[in-house]
Amino acid sequence: MLPEEIRKRVQELRWHHTIDLGHGIVTPGQDNSPRKLARLKLPESFAGKSVLDVGAWDGFFSFEAERRGAQRVLATDSYSWDGSHDWGDKRGFDLAKSVLGSKVGERVIDVLDLAPEKIGTFDVVFFLGVLYHMRHPLLALERVASVTHGMVIVETVVDMLSCRRPAIAYYPFAELGRDSTNWCGPNPAAVVAMLKTVGFRRVEIVSGLRPFYFRLAKAAWLKFRRGNQFGSMLRTDRIVVHAWK
């Protein structure tokens, strides 16, 4: 595919991930994926490993696992790929996979349908930006644990930051980011506790809460650029957790 055609097709789609497709072409994703990648603290190499990316969307992290040498990568999604809403569809993933010459596997499957008998088990599982979209967060982590042979990497919104005991904020409407698909905001203690509950023996927060001034500046920027509620953005943050069976 010629660069001119790639550029044209990129411009026709709505992107979530920011993916470098080469030829000076970078997808205009709303997510600063390279910056998020730095916070994930992934192993430098996945050589010989199998990797599952749950909620893959445009596939940035699936392709990154492949780039780091994973023997097998499976990208899964359902909501972001079914095309029934204004969040986009699977065309971004398909285009990026084609342009990058990727061999990442793909499967349309809901988080709550994950099971070893359906997709097998994996050495490493990515569960990035998905947990707070779950109506049943503990059940979702239970399903993720069932297909995790070794390690899971969770990136999520956290709320109720002043509470030291495990606690979860519930969003019945669109309180977080004016997005009705955001259902819950566990605090860091709850994320750790839930992972231990579903069978992970060792749990470590590798990228924790940012300073208050960072959250203040981010809340103001999101209010100005996207019209998000200032208060909900100020009281929340995002963390990254690594956990091992």
pLDDT at 98 over 80: yes
pLDDT surpassing 70 at residue 102:
yes
Cβ atoms of 36 and 7 closer than 8 Å: no
Confirm if 5 and 77 have CB atoms less than 8 A apart: no
What pLDDT score was predicted for residue 179? 87
Read off the pLDDT of each residue in 3-7 and give the average, rounded to a whole number. 97
**233, pLDDT greater than 80:** no
77: part of which helix (H) or strand (E)? strand 72-77
Q: CB–CB of 137/168 below 8 Å?
A: yes
Which H or E run includes 92?
helix 91-100
Does 232 have pLDDT greater than 80? no
How much of the chain, in percent, has pLDDT values that exceed 90?
82
201, 187 contact by CB (below 8 A): no
C-alpha 52/C-alpha 58 separation (Å) is 14
What's the rounded mean pLDDT across residues 145-156? 98
Give the rounded distance of the alpha carbon of 53 from its chain centre: 8
Rounded to two decimals, what is the model's pTM?
A: 0.94
Residue 169 has pLDDT above 70, yes or no: yes
Average pLDDT, the chain: 93
Domains in the chain, start-ordered, CATH in brackets? 3-244 (3.40.50.150)
Is residue 227 scored above 80 in pLDDT?
no
pLDDT above 90 for 220: no
Question: Is residue 18's pLDDT more than 70?
Answer: yes
Neighbours of 170 (CB within 10 A): 10
Checking if the pLDDT of 211 tops 90, the result is no
